[in-house]
Every structure is written in C-alpha cells, then in structure tokens.
Amino acid sequence: MNALSKLVAVEAKLFLREPVSLFFVFALPLGLMLVFGLPRRGAAADDGGQHTELTFLPALALALTIGMLALFTLPMALGIYRERRVLRRLATTPVHPALLLIAQVVVNLAMGVAGAVVTAIGVRFLLDQPAPANVPAFVLAFLLGVACLFAVGLLIAALAPSARAAQSIGPALFFPLLFLAGAWLPRDQMPTVLARIGDYSPLGATVDTLAAAWAGESPALPQLLALAVTAVLGSVLATRFFRWE
C-alpha cells in the first residue's frame, strides 16, 4: 500500500467518525426530498418553471451535499491541519503534504458520489420517480459541479488563516449561493440581474444542469462552461495562494 492509499484510508476513517458530516451527505438530502417531495409523490411535471419541482428537488439536494462537503468540511479540515502544523510536519517526511490534499479531495469526492447514489435511489423508490434520464449528461454535470465547488472550497482553505476563519467563510459564502440557486425564492421571481447571476453561480449552475439531465434534457452549454471556468480559475488561485503553515 503506497503513501497516498494509506492517507486516503486514514482520512476516510476520520470522515466516517464524524456524525455531522455523514448527516450532511446522506440524511439531509433524503430528508429534504421526503419533506417536500412526498406530498407530490407520483405527480406529473408542472407547467412552467425552468424544471419541474420533481427534478429540481433531487438536483438541489445533490448540490446541497456537494456544497457542504466543499465549503464546510474540506476547508475546515485543511485549516485544522494547518493550525496543528500537520502539513509542516509532513513536509519533513518523505510524504509530500500535497498528498494529504489529494487524499482529502478523494475522500470528499467519494462521499459525494455515495450521496448522489443514495439520493438517486431515494428518488426512485421513495418518491416513485424515475432515475436520471440523461445519464451521460448527468455524470458530466455532477463532475463539473464537484470540480467547481471543490475548487472554491480549496481556495477558501488557501486564504483562510485558521480553521475558525474557514468555518466562518464557508457558510458566509454557501448561504448566499444557496439563495441564488433558488432554494428559497424561485429564480423566475427574482429581479432579472439577480436571476442571471444565479444562473451562472456555482450552486445555481450545478442545480440547473443536474435537473436538466435528470429530466432527460441536455444541460445548457453556457452553464457547463461557467462551472468549468470557475473550477479552473479556483484551482489556479488555490494553488497560487495555498500556505502549508
């Protein structure tokens, strides 16, 4: 077993010991869908918005899971490691500190994928709704959403001077992004400028592309490009500003 696989195994064990993280990944998305989706179980598509509520809800639940992993769990874990000088101590060993970053991303990505599978199964069997109809587009949208949000999370980890700061910056960014995604107010009821910003925001574009693929449509290319550009830009900036101690 090489160094990276050992770090991944250790990080996975630490993640699974955190009930709050498991709640965000598995219980919260299912709870959200059951609370809002059961009253409309078996309902037909409604006739107006960007997507039907029955595809918007699971897409929002998945985006919520990815966003919490990216903006809450990942920056805080790396902030704690920096505060405790774990990264600095690793730099004096044959194991490069970058491997710990990779291990963190791998574990959080694996949990995000597991959460997506559980959400899809829940939609199919608990809400009696079909699984994602356009699977290739769904996978593409999911991966781009993960890349985009994780890049933002790594940028927070790079800029936050401490774990407490990361714990504050993440929610301060997450909840406005959640609002722009249409979690509380549908974007077709927002002012035009705010709605357009929401369309291309990390969570908004993730929700829309996932919902489109779930409904069997092709995700909008500009939104996919927005996710890809944000992922590249966030990764470059995170690499540029990341501090090991």
204-226 pLDDT per residue, tens = 999 999 999 988 899 999 999 99
CA atoms within 13 A on the CB side of 98: 2
Q: How is the chain split into domains, by residue range?
A: 3-241
Closest alpha carbon to 44 in 57, 33, 55 = 55
Share the mean pLDDT of the chain.
Answer: 84
CA atoms within 13 A on the CB side of 9: 6
Render pLDDT for 146-157 as a digit per residue (tens, 0 to 9): 999 999 999 998
At residue 217, the 3 state secondary structure works out as coil
Q: Is the pLDDT of residue 29 over 80?
A: no
What gap in Å lies between CA 40 and CA 129, rounded to an integer? 10
Residue with tokens 């004096």: 92
What gap in Å lies between CA 146 and CA 62, rounded to an integer? 10
Contact 219, 213 (CB under 8 A): yes
DSSP symbol at 220: P
The pair phi, psi for residue 183, each rounded to 5°, is -65, -35
Which residues lie below 8 Å from residue 239, measured CB to CB, with a gap of 6+?
158
What gap in Å lies between CA 74 and CA 110, rounded to an integer? 13
Higher pLDDT, 173 or 44: 173
Higher pLDDT, 119 or 43: 119
pLDDT above 90 as % of the chain: 32
Contact 197, 184 (CB under 8 A): no
Rounded to two decimals, the pTM is 0.85
Contact 60, 31 (CB under 8 A): no
**Structure tokens of 186?**
């549908």
The pair phi, psi for residue 161, each rounded to 5°, is -75, -15
DSSP symbol at 215: T
What gap in Å lies between CA 12 and CA 126, rounded to an integer? 28
